[in-house]
Amino acid sequence: MRRAAQAALEDREKVQSRRMDQLVEAATAEIRQGAVDYGKNLEICDCVGRDPSEALALVAAVKRRLGKNDAHVQLLSLTLLEMCVKNCETC
């Protein structure tokens, strides 16, 4: 029983992580060329505000995006992180 519960929790975390990766990638896509998508950023903030466990997935996704060689992606990632810090009580 314990293993099943742990496996279910791990599956939930993977789904959250993939979903957050997709949201962060959409908000910081190379095609945006530095134009901030405030709607997408606030959607991410809302996700973290509803479920504080999403904050870890957010930080991991932003960290991956900061590793890109595109300065626009890095700037959008930092802008997203700043918005989350300023708009989420749980960050």
Smallest Cα–Cα separation from 45: which of 36, 55, 37, 53?
Answer: 55
Under a CB-based contact definition with an 8 Å cutoff, are residues 70 and 59 in contact?
Answer: no
Q: Whole-prediction pTM value? A: 0.79
* Per-residue confidence (pLDDT) for residue 12, from 0 to 100: 61
Tens-digit pLDDT string for the chain (91 aa):
567 656 655 556 666 678 889 999 999 988 877 789 999 999 999 999 888 888 889 999 999 999 999 999 999 999 999 999 998 776 5
Torsion sign, CA atoms 36, 32, 27, 76: negative
* Per-residue confidence (pLDDT) for residue 18, from 0 to 100: 85
